[in-house]
Structure 1
């Protein structure tokens, strides 16, 4: 079972959801650092997470159509930019074919995406493609060993959970080099929902004594530019023709980066 955007909106409107967002956002900030002058692309349900980096030169959220219920999709077109309930700019995208040019993003953040994707290999291949050389991808996923993956009342109880090592191994198998990690949501979801202040105390204690029980795990993985020994085509019978949909913010980022690199080489 996978999460849908209406359920995600509802969860993050609760006290437990607001606490979860705050704790996850703190770990993302720690890993990403200052995003000034950089392009940030979020894939999945970002629910205000991308808005937490106002210093980024450009930031946009890409919502896989598989996360959106039919009611949300009505009247909306793939590749067009919309504003969601938390005033976050997002673009609807196919689940496995990102409408973005190669090497545009300095950082890519996957939240409620990896565990819900029906096309995991293609999603990671696309994330690798749009990430700039030297850039990195961060994935936030439910921890298989934590309490949260057992609670279907939260979105972390949907999709495929991972251990930290499983997530690192998944990245390594798709031309990424794990370079950072973090954990959050150590208090059980029932405590976070009913008693947030107690959840914060539990968070600090369990983080020290049993970090493997975190509700989510985060891995940052740097794009590897080493070519694989063999490249398997998306289709053995027919090459798929890629068609990009122009997203203004992303197109401008690519143009600016190319101009900057050109000036640097001429200098």
Structure 2
């Protein structure tokens, strides 16, 4: 999606409620980030406000295909337009990385996660907000969560393990339907609590925290031995020449 569409969604009442509910799940994993280096990738600015004031540094990277908006407004810019497969960072540059509207919008999520693995510190942690394949929010295109590729929990787990991450904790958010009706918006917290208590599988997004595998396993390939028979030398007569 274009960055203008994303901005417009989060400025509407439905987007404001969605941000509040997802922030609950993020704070459950990361109550604070004091002294930590925090990086957001995708369109993370609605959620980075949780960490901007108490972290060591907090910046946002937005992919070139999406576009970038100045963030925060009224302060020096902390957002940049980047190539998401070649981040302008040294290895192990950040302690925590937040992915929002990133994996589902990316045409090569494995390459993106491997680049994130490179810039994440050995003791670092990552949170990915990913649309739930079984959720109601993915079945409508009036929100950003209805665009791109949604994932099941098994698909996310497989993707993370292929890219050298280990899932550490799971959460869900957006149990309410994506309806901008005043009654639904007022009862959003009741929907969340009921969905969490009943472990309903129809949440709009997965909130998965993963850790970096510093010593990743390498596949072992057994070398095939090709047997070559031992041959005895044989004298080959030279062809006779006639004068």
TM-score, with length taken from structure 1: 0.76
Q: Distance in 1 between matches of 2:145 and 2:214?
A: 32
Q: Distance in 1 between matches of 2:163 and 2:181?
A: 35
For residue 112 of structure 1, the aligned residue among 101, 105, 117 is 101
Q: Distance in 2 between matches of 1:192 and 1:208?
A: 24
Q: Does the CA-based 8 Å contact 1:191-1:198 persist in structure 2?
A: no
- Count of residues paired in the alignment: 218
Q: Distance in 2 between matches of 1:28 and 1:119?
A: 25
Change (3 A) 1:126 1:193: farther
User: 1:220 matched to which residue of 2?
Assistant: 209
Change (3 A) 1:86 1:124: farther
For residue 35 of structure 1, the aligned residue among 33, 36, 55 is 33
User: 1:67 matched to which residue of 2?
Assistant: 66
User: 2:196 matched to which residue of 1?
Assistant: 207
User: 2:142 matched to which residue of 1?
Assistant: 153
Q: CA deviation at 1:136?
A: 1.4
After superposition, the CA RMSD in angstroms is 2.1
Q: Distance in 2 between matches of 1:32 and 1:12?
A: 22
Q: Does the CA-based 8 Å contact 2:45-2:60 persist in structure 1?
A: no
Q: Distance in 2 between matches of 1:102 and 1:125?
A: 12
Deviations 1:33-87 (A, max 9, x none): 221111000000013311211211110000011212xxx69xxxxxxxx535596
Q: Distance in 2 between matches of 1:119 and 1:210?
A: 31
User: 2:24 matched to which residue of 1?
Assistant: 26
Alignment gaps of 5+ in structure 1: 74-81, 231-267
- In the TM superposition, 1:70-219 aligns within 5 A as 82-83=70-71, 89-190=78-179, 195-219=184-208
Q: Distance in 2 between matches of 1:124 and 1:192?
A: 37
Q: CA deviation at 1:200?
A: 2.3
Alignment gaps of 5+ in structure 2: 220-243
Q: Distance in 2 between matches of 1:227 and 1:189?
A: 40
Change (3 A) 1:159 1:229: same
Q: Distance in 2 between matches of 1:25 and 1:229?
A: 36
Q: Secondary structure at the match of 2:179?
A: helix
User: 2:13 matched to which residue of 1?
Assistant: 15
